[in-house]
Structure 1
Amino acid sequence: MEYTKQRNTNAMRLPTSGNGHAFYYYIKPTVRNCKCTFPDGSIYWQRVVPIEKYRVFKSEPDKLYLDEQCTISAGITRKEKIQQAKQLG
């Protein structure tokens, strides 16, 4: 039991006390937009947005893009694309 109290499981050596500010800023540059592949083989991208106030990452709800930088809108929502895939079987 003593060993588990002394062992350091923090591989990145980031301060873990508090509310996780250091971990958020460490991981923020590595977070990228999310690739969505649908059953019909089409590939779209969803934008991942960092929310500084709460230090979390969220994707834009129901918005799809054609490129990885999320600059060209697909003109279809995620829900519509899922419905199309269900109709195709």
Structure 2
Amino acid sequence: MSKENSEEFYERLRIQLEDNSTWPSTYLYKFIVPTDQAKIDQIYDIFDQNGAVIESKKSKNGNYTSVSITVVMEDPLAVIAKYKEVSVVEGVISL
């Protein structure tokens, strides 16, 4: 995704979150990442200080790992900031 497209995406997400939730709110992040413990740890580290509940599950063949993170976020901008932090993890897909 180009920088311009990603900024448009994040702006739409911000508006949607503002319209559909009361903040602070519990938010569920879902990511798929190649099964590589360093990459999984990188995602865990991003949410480590937030009191997040983190669950992970390997795919049937073990090539990918889904990571679900439930955490209380202060506002839509905080949600988007975490997505941007995770986006630097190589091979990650945000759902």
Query: TM-score band, normalised by the shorter chain?
Result: under 0.3
Q: TM-score of the superposition, structure 2-length normalised?
A: 0.26
Q: TM-score of the superposition, structure 1-length normalised?
A: 0.27
Relative contact order higher in (CA < 8 Å, ≥ 6 apart): 2
More strand by share: 2
More helix by share: 2
